[in-house]
């Protein structure tokens, strides 16, 4: 089985070694990873005065861990911290990280899953090891203990132990017997090193370290890094990269929630996604990441877009764009399903992976499978240095800064914009005319200001959310380019207003079964801008009204006739049909966020969810 082979989600890792002996630094960094979702937290610190490692754990929020830390008042370096979301073993202090060996000599934090932990645990118990938790992670601490010898460097024991492990891991490890170092290791879960003068950090996410340094090294699979107070080394030399966003980007900046902040950043996300990437007078998209494979792309006869969750809905819009305008056969595949299909791929197929984090396990595995079959592999990601960027042949960055809220918003509109640019890039290689290329780019250039007009209706949309908050079921309908937006609207309700059940379907499919659900207690959100299938959407709305369903319509400015069908209307500015999803999704994001707040829910960290799914 692949290293990315079982169900898990993305927990948070922070490690520090250097001149600062106050672990409060680590707790502050850990807070910047709260958006990933977690149920417990912990810290382990080497205290030089006592020559021992002190460990604290707490179930629940980081506040609980901080209370314990304030009472304990210890200092030291190195220190490692972790936020955990339970996979093996229920949420509890015993199951929280860091975990240690029998002698309380080795402490470690871990993201990922150890697939063969049961076999390893049984063997270690037979050898006399005593376990204190139900987790798969604790096996690693005892396994490293098994290979440790007096005077031996910690990294040697780690290397021997990891040879026995099957699964996925990002690790930060410290030892009382070899105290002036952190050993970090990676396989299948993201891990980066922060490089600064007289101090080094290790983290699962740039958000944890960007306030200390923007110089980072991204570990590759099967690499082990050793950090000391004044130096570091890795098994092979790695280039230093630069994080392209500021620490302020990962703060709320006056908004009550990251989700709201990021929705209101969508106009800027559109602008950042397209600026410098359009040659208007020539009707060309300038995508440096794709230019290096331009000749290969000219020979491509088929595109497979692979993505999961919200990114898959962006990919579905891209499927329509590529086929209608670039005249290239395209299919959207869900990453978790694609992995287990015997997909027909060859050297005339390009596989495009779409992922905000660049770490989505199923999408990453799809790329690896496509490479094995000789495909040109491309990436559309937001995170520099992520696993997908390193596995693909070429690609395009969103470059919109961090997205902290669990539910994606600004990354989604960025993905849509870049897919439109790729459409022009591919189309102009083929049959797309100069006039068509220019028109698409000119309309793209207008979108940031058009998006601001939609967000200016936020108070009205907030009132609508309050009005509809009494309902517990919603239906979303769309067709063609806006069918994926119906899916996205329903998903956002399910994610951040999770007390509400929501479904979505193509409007033309409703009469094949789903219409049985409609009554006065089942409101329907209809996405019906003036476009090629507007009249078909009106027919669907008539069918809803005939069953006494309430309708919230999203349509183009100036459409007055729709008021005879809809109970409420949100207007969006006119644009090209292929670009309407970039505008029509904005009110749906706001509507879901305000509904979640109306229901008293944490819209940044919905229950049972985390930002990135890094293991299947």
Q: Which two tokens stand for residue 72?
A: 């304990």
Q: Which two tokens stand for residue 124?
A: 């270690």
Nearest-angstrom CA–CA distance, 511 and 595: 28
In sequence order, the 6+-apart residues with CB closer than 8 A to the CB of 119 are none
Nearest-angstrom CA–CA distance, 195 and 224: 16
Task: Convert 327-387 into a string of H (helix), E (strand) and C (coil).
Answer: CCEEEEEEHHHHCCCCCCCCCCEEEEEEECCCCCHHHHHHHHHHHHCCCEEEEEECCCCCH
Nearest-angstrom CA–CA distance, 580 and 574: 8
For the chain, the farthest-separated pair of C-alpha atoms sits apart, in whole angstroms, at 82
- For residue 401, the SS3 value is coil
Whether 468 contacts 595, CB under 8 Å: yes
Return the active site residues.
Answer: 11, 611
Whether 270 contacts 453, CB under 8 Å: no
Nearest-angstrom CA–CA distance, 18 and 26: 12
Bridge partners (DSSP) of residue 45 are 54, 79
Whether 418 contacts 272, CB under 8 Å: no
- Nearest in space to 300 (alpha carbons), one of 264, 330, 267, 274: 330
- Nearest in space to 340 (alpha carbons), one of 357, 309, 362: 362
Which H or E run contains 257? none
- Nearest in space to 172 (alpha carbons), one of 223, 225, 215: 225
């Amino acid at each position: 089985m692949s290293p990315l082979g079982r169900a898990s989600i993305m927990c948070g890792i922070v490690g520090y070694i250097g001149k600062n002996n106050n672990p409060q630094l680590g707790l502050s960094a850990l807070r910047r990873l709260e958006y990933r979702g977690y149920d417990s937290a912990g810290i382990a610190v080497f205290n030089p005065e006592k020559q021992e490692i002190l460990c604290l754990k707490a179930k629940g929020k980081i506040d609980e861990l901080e209370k314990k830390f304030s009472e304990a008042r210890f200092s030291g370096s190195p220190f490692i911290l972790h936020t955990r979301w339970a996979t093996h073993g229920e949420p509890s202090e015993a199951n929280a990280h860091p975990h240690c060996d029998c002698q309380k000599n080795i402490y470690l934090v871990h993201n990922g899953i150890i697939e063969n932990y049961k076999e390893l645990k049984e063997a270690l118990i037979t050898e006399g090891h005593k376990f204190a938790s139900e987790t798969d992670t604790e096996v690693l601490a005892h396994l490293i203990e098994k290979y440790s010898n007096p005077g031996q460097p910690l990294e040697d024991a780690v290397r021997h132990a990891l040879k026995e492990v099957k699964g996925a891991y990002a690790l930060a490890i410290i030892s009382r017997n070899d105290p002036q170092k952190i050993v970090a290791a990676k396989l299948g879960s993201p891990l980066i090193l922060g490089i600064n003068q007289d101090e080094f950090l290790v983290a699962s996410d740039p958000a944890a370290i960007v306030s200390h340094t923007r110089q980072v090294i991204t570990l590759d699979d099967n690499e082990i890094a050793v950090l000391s107070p004044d130096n570091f080394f890795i098994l092979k030399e790695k280039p230093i990269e630069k994080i392209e966003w500021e620490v302020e980007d990962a703060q709320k900046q006056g908004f009550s929630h990251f989700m709201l902040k990021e929705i209101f950043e969508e106009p800027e996300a559109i602008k950042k996604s397209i600026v410098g990437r359009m040659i208007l007078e020539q009707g060309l998209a300038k995508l440096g990441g794709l230019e290096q494979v331009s000749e290969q792309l000219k020979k491509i006869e088929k595109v497979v877009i692979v993505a999961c969750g919200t990114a898959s809905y962006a990919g579905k819009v891209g499927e329509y764009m590529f086929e209608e305008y670039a005249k290239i056969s395209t299919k959207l595949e869900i990453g978790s399903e694609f992995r287990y299909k015997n997909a027909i791929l060859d050297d005339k197929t390009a596989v495009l992976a779409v992922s905000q984090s660049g770490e989505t396990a199923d999408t990453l595995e799809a790329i690896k499978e496509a490479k094995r079959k000789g495909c040109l592999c491309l990436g559309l990601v937001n995170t520099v240095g992520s696993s997908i960027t390193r596995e693909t042949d070429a690609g395009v960055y969103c470059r919109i800064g961090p997205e902290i809220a669990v539910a994606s918003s600004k990354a989604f509109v960025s993905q849509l914009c870049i897919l439109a640019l790729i459409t022009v890039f591919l189309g102009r290689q083929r049959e797309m005319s100069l006039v068509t290329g220019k028109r698409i780019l000119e309309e793209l250039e207008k979108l940031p200001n058009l998006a601001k007009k939609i967000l200016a209706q936020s108070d009205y949309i907030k009132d609508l959310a309050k009005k509809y908050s009494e309902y517990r079921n919603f239906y979303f309908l769309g067709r063609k380019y806006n069918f994926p937006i119906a899916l996205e609207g329903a998903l956002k309700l399910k994610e951040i207003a999770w007390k509400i059940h929501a479904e979505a379907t193509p409007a033309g499919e409703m009469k094949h079964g789903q219409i049985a659900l409609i009554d006065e207690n089942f409101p329907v959100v209809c996405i019906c801008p003036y476009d090629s299938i507007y009249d078909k959407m009106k027919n669907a709305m008539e069918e809803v009204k005939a069953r006494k369903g309430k309708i919230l319509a999203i349509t183009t400015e100036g459409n007055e006739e729709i008021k005879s069908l809809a109970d409420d209307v949100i207007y969006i500015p006119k644009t090209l049909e292929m670009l309407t999803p970039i505008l029509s999704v904005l009110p749906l994001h706001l509507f879901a966020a305000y509904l979640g707040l109306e229901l008293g829910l944490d819209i940044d960290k919905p229950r049972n969810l985390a930002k990135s799914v890094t293991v299947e």
